[in-house]
């Protein structure tokens, strides 16, 4: 069976700063045991295709970049491991189940049951051992790697800033079943409505993108998901911010191929990262390196 490595970590290529970035949904290595019944082209619409490539400049400013290889439709590293639809399984789950609204309404829990077009992914129910294997082979290593990066960076610098990187379909409001009289922004920043990071960090990213001509919205329509809930503890030294990029800016949403504007956007993100790096360096308390803050778990 083809079992690709679950993740990659690109370490700092410059003087390290207190910045960790992760892309949990850009994986495109579809395991042999997926057993999906839907067409692959439809399944791929679930991907945050090429987000890891857009943010490949993270190491160049001194940050670390973690990105998944497995696709989010196989198992979603940005969902709690209890976020499972019972109806997806062929037997009772041997533990707690707490499916989210996204899981029950859109089929987008820990294990996706539907694509973004709401097409059923499986023509079968999944075995409990099958799901547990995905958790152990993909979800748990990814979550552990992010935890290790964040903890090590905070220990070294006293604080850590975390960017959780995503892309969104250009019809995101329709996809989520939301009515809006506003067009979808180019960039949506999610901070759990002010909980997962300081207003200053959100403002830093917003102003960086806006200075390059991008429209920016905050918490509309995405506020953040499980990785922000787990790690976004500003009072304990970790500020986490979700960044959603409108796919039509850089991608053919049907073929998943980069558009003619891809390279321009990658270069713009490099400029954004330079501003983020200045923000982080200016706020890193060098004297706190010898007294790391309490673990945010």
CA distance 256 to 251: 6
Residue 51 CB neighbour total at 10 angstroms:
24
Domains in the chain, CATH or no CATH each: 7-78+129-290 (3.40.630.40)
Please give the pLDDT value at position 30. Answer: 96
| 162 phi/psi in degrees, rounded to 5 | -125, 125
Please give the pLDDT value at position 286. Answer: 47
What are the tens digits of pLDDT across the range 227-251? 999 999 999 999 999 999 999 999 9
The predicted model scores a pTM of 0.94
CA distance 86 to 89: 6
SS (H, E, C) 72-103: CCCCCCCCCCCCCCHHHECCCCCCCCCCCHHH
Q: Are 272 and 201 in contact (CB under 8 A)?
A: no
What are the tens digits of pLDDT across the range 41-79? 999 999 999 999 999 999 999 999 999 999 999 999 999
Please give the pLDDT value at position 6. Answer: 97
List the one residue out of 10, 1, 32, 30 whose CA is nearest residue 165. Answer: 10
CA distance 116 to 250: 19
What does pLDDT average to in each consecutive run of 10 residues of the chain (297 residues)? 82 98 97 96 96 98 98 98 96 95 92 95 97 98 98 97 98 90 96 98 98 98 97 98 98 96 98 98 65 40
């Amino acid at each position: 069976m083809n079992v690709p490595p679950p993740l990659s970590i690109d370490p700092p290529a410059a003087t390290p700063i207190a910045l960790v970035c992760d892309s949990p949904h850009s994986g495109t290595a579809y395991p042999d045991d997926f057993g999906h019944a839907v067409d692959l082209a439809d399944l791929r619409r679930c991907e945050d295709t090429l987000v890891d490539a857009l943010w490949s400049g993270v190491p160049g400013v001194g940050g670390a970049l973690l990105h998944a290889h497995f696709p989010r439709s196989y198992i979603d590293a940005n969902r709690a491991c209890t976020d499972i639809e019972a109806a997806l399984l062929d037997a009772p789950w041997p533990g707690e189940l707490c499916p989210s609204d996204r899981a029950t309404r859109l089929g987008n829990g820990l294990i996706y049951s539907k694509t973004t077009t709401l097409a059923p992914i499986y023509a079968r129910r999944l075995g409990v051992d099958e799901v547990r294997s995905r958790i152990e082979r993909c979800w748990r290593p990814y979550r552990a790697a992010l935890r290790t990066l964040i903890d090590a960076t905070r220990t070294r610098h006293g604080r850590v800033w975390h960017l959780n990187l995503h892309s969104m379909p250009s019809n995101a409001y329709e996809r989520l079943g939301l009515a809006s009289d506003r067009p979808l922004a180019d960039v949506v920043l999610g901070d759990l409505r002010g909980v997962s990071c300081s207003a200053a960090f959100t403002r830093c990213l917003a102003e960086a993108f806006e200075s390059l001509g991008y429209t920016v919205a905050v918490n509309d329509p995405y506020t953040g998901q499980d990785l922000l809930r787990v790690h976004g503890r500003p009072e304990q030294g970790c500020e986490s911010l979700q960044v959603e990029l409108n796919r039509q800016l850089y991608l053919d949403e049907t073929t998943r191929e980069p558009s003619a504007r891809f390279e321009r956007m990658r270069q713009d993100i490099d400029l954004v990262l330079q501003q983020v790096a200045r923000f982080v360096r200016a706020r890193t308390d060098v004297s706190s390196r010898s007294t790391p803050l309490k673990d945010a778990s």
